[in-house]
Amino acid sequence: MITDWTLWLEWFIKALVIIFALLIGFAYLTYYERRALARMQTRIGPNRAGPYGLLQPIADAIKLIFKEELSPAKAYKFVFFLSPILTLLPSIVIGAVIPWGATVHWFGRDINLYLADINVAVLFFAAIASVSVYGIVLAGWSSNSKYAMLGAMRSTAQMISYEVALGISLTPVILLANSMSMREIVEAQRSMWFVVYQPLGALIFWIATLAEVNRAPFDMPEAEQELTAGYHAEYSGMKFALFFMAEYQKMIIVSAILAVFFFGGYLGPGEAQYPILGPVYMFAKIMILLFVMIWVRATWPRIRYDRLMSFGWKILLPASLATVFLTAVGILMFDVAKNALWMWFIPVSSMLVFAICVIGVYQALRRLTYERV
């Protein structure tokens, strides 16, 4: 018999677990990134604090907590304090709707391995994720620094150009799953991951999320080499750590979302019998997707922000509209003709669109390069 207060207790515990998982995940993601980057760059990476440098994130955290908090002389103090919080909160809030697994039976009761299964989770994600850009813009504006202001400007321009494509690239998922609930999206992938049906959509979503979390090659708002640190140039100590935290937690979150939307979320062999395997699969998928982000950072130069805007508007947006159209056509024809081959029309046609995009970009660049060189 589930009483009211036990339900509250369960929610409370689950919320705590998610928050702490994200906090610790953030700390060890920095370690993971530094080690992986170091391996790719013929270095060793942090290896002094603790065995294999495992205590390095903790040492970093202690350093940041005890560091002096500076704020520029003419900064708007209230907003200056508020913006790190504003940046960090959304990334934690999104954690509420991510399904980490199905339902397990523990302590004589069914426990859902997710905090909330709201029926508009996709919209919830899109809405909350874009809030954090306010933190960045306000941080850049309130620090009264030219570099920070330029970073904030870039982040605004960037957000306008990728957010549309990000939102539209979610539509094929909704069409395929016929639901906006994250849990139902995952369950709809039991037969086949959506990345197989809609590879182009997954790619667009992934590119847009790279811009969303300000990761290379779209890290213009904080371009170290150009704007010294961009919007958080004037932040130090724990306030800086909050920005840092927000960025890495968002990395975890968008990887989780990508896994949920396109890579079957918590699904995996044996998960149906043992639902507790769900979080394990989820964790493994997130790690792999995070690795790809780190890999990209080690390899690619930064794109220029006007190029990101034209890329977002001229390529990502039309391509994502095409995926929506093709997915809709495929599903409609499948319903009408009752022929499973129509489902395979979606990936084939979207790969064609992808090929057209790649060839177009490649040709344009080739013309640009060989005419001049």
Exactly one of 154, 183, 250, 285 binds other proteins (CB under 8 A); which one? 154
By the rule CB under 8 A, 299 interacts with other proteins:
yes
Per DSSP, the residues of 33-81 read HHHHHHHHTT---S-SSSGGGTTHHHHHHHHHHHS-----TT--HHHHH
User: Which three-class secondary structure state does DSSP give residue 269?
Assistant: coil
Q: State which residue, 96 or 227, has the beta carbon closest to other proteins.
A: 227
Quote the least distance from Cβ 146 to other proteins, whole Å: 5
Question: Smallest distance from the beta carbon of 372 to other proteins, in angstroms?
Answer: 5
Q: Which residue in 302, 325, 343, 344 binds other proteins (CB under 8 A)?
A: 302
**Cβ at position 74, least distance to other proteins in Å:** 12
The total of other beta-carbon atoms located within 10 Å of residue 348's CB is: 11
Under the binding rule (CB under 8 A), the answer on residue 363 touching other proteins is no
Out of 84, 217, 230, 275, which residue is the one contacting other proteins (CB under 8 A)? Answer: 217
Q: Which is nearer to other proteins, 40 or 85 (CB)?
A: 40
Whole-number Å distance between alpha carbons of 152 and 216: 17
The span from the CA of 168 to the CA of 179, in Å, is: 15
Verify binding: residue 296, other proteins, rule CB under 8 A. Answer: no
CA dihedral 145, 245, 59, 237 (to 10 degrees): 30
Let me know: does 22 contact 92? Beta carbons within 8 Å: yes
Binding of residue 235 to other proteins (CB under 8 A): no
Alpha-carbon distance of 369 to 298, in angstroms, equals 24
Task: Pick the closest to residue 205 from 304, 129, 299 (CA basis).
Answer: 129
**Options 219, 234, 247, 271; binder of other proteins; rule CB under 8 A:** 219
Q: Candidates 63, 224, 288, 359: give the one binding other proteins (CB under 8 A).
A: 224
Backbone angles phi, psi at 223, to 5 degrees: -50, 110
Q: What is the dihedral sign for C-alpha 356, 362, 364, 366?
A: negative
For the segment 14-53, give every residue that binds other proteins (CB under 8 A).
Answer: 40-43
Q: Which of 78, 225, 336, 340 binds other proteins (CB under 8 A)?
A: 225
Q: Which of 130, 226, 236, 314 binds other proteins (CB under 8 A)?
A: 226
Residue from 50, 146, 160, 337 in contact with other proteins (CB under 8 A)? 146
Footprint of other proteins on this chain (CB under 8 A)?
40-43, 146-147, 150, 153-154, 216-217, 219-220, 223-228, 297-307, 361-362, 365, 368-369, 372-373
